[in-house]
């Protein structure tokens, strides 16, 4: 699978469960905006069969390389982002939950899911946009996981796919700031994640980010159907570093709050 096909597959899966992203994409396109995708985020569990290196492999085999890493101690997450030599291609931001630091219940639940993957330590490229590679979990298990880790609950229910795409606001023509874009989106009825303020980050850390709140989507659990928060759309405004280059990395403190966009408790 080539890079274009991989990225298109991630996008079509993503808009399938996050139609609001397609609505925003269309809204901006109709306004004549060129849309550049800053990064795509994927979630995983730290495990020999699903760790970051495994999930990154479809991308690294296409020329992506690991660039920088981040720790999110409160959420027990570690993340690394990958860049392609072609600067027009989006960065890939992969985070993993350090399950060995979680409760026995969470470890047993997650290990039982990963056990269903068989013994291979290699994944095909379509693994990263095919959703859950395990049987659906019971709804109660989802709810129990959610009390401990919203991230683990989301990943157990939705599996491997883009958790969010991100519009690079710098390249939009009619919006001079992230604030302007946020106001425009709210006027059009989209709800933004305001955990930690609508705009995370600042000029001082060279990156501002905002995101929609994940829209609820119907999911088939083992025992019932339920409507739970799915994916969200993110917006990033990057500032120039003292040397004149646009800042290319992430800000752990901001991303920490962005993770909460899939939390139904987020307001």
* Chain residues in the site for Ni ion (CB under 5 A): 41, 234
Shortest Å, Cβ 46 to Ni ion: 19
Q: How far is it, in rounded angstroms, from Cα 140 to Cα 32? A: 45
Shortest Å, Cβ 254 to Ni ion: 9
Nearer to Ni ion, 41 or 213 (CB): 41
Nearer to Ni ion, 13 or 234 (CB): 234
Which residue, chain included where needed, has tokens 């795409």? Answer: 165
Nearer to Ni ion, 175 or 259 (CB): 259
CB 65 within 8 A of CB 92: no
Shortest Å, Cβ 142 to Ni ion: 23
Residues 6+ apart with CB under 8 A from 67: 80, 81, 82, 83, 91, 248, 249
Nearer to Ni ion, 113 or 251 (CB): 251
Cα within 13 Å of Cα(238), Cβ side: 20
Nearer to Ni ion, 234 or 256 (CB): 234
CB 211 within 8 A of CB 169: no
Q: How far is it, in rounded angstroms, from Cα 51 to Cα 185? A: 35
Secondary structure class of 136 (helix, strand, coil): coil
Shortest Å, Cβ 56 to Ni ion: 16
Shortest Å, Cβ 230 to Ni ion: 15
Q: Among residues 137, 40, 42, which one has the least CA distance to residue 97?
A: 42
DSSP 117: T
Nearer to Ni ion, 41 or 92 (CB): 41
Shortest Å, Cβ 165 to Ni ion: 9
DSSP 240: B
CB 157 within 8 A of CB 221: yes
């Amino acid at each position: 699978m080539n890079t274009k096909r991989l990225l298109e597959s991630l996008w079509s899966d993503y808009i399938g469960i996050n139609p609001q992203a397609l609505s925003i994409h269309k809204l901006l396109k109709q306004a004549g905006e060129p849309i550049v995708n800053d990064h795509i985020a994927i979630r995983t569990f730290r495990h020999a069969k699903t760790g970051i290196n495994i999930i990154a492999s479809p991308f690294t085999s296409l020329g992506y390389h690991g660039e920088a890493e981040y720790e999110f101690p409160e959420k027990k997450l570690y993340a690394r982002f990958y860049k392609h030599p072609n600067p027009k291609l989006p960065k890939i931001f992969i985070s993993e939950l350090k399950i060995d630091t979680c409760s026995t219940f969470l470890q047993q639940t997650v290990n039982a899911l990963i056990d269903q993957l068989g013994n291979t330590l290699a994944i095909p490229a379509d693994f990263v946009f095919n959703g859950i590679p395990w049987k659906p979990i019971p709804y109660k298990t989802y709810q129990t996981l959610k009390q401990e880790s919203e991230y683990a609950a989301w990943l157990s229910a939705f599996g491997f796919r883009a958790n969010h795409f991100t519009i690079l606001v710098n390249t939009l023509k009619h919006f001079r700031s992230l604030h302007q874009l946020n106001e425009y989106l709210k006027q059009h009825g989209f709800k933004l994640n305001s955990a930690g303020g609508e705009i995370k980050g600042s000029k001082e850390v060279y990156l501002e980010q905002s995101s929609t709140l994940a829209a609820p989507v119907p999911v088939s659990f083992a025992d019932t159907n339920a409507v739970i928060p799915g994916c969200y759309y993110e917006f990033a405004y990057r500032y120039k570093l003292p040397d004149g280059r646009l800042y290319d990395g992430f800000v752990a403190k901001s991303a920490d709050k962005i993770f909460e966009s899939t939390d139904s408790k987020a307001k």
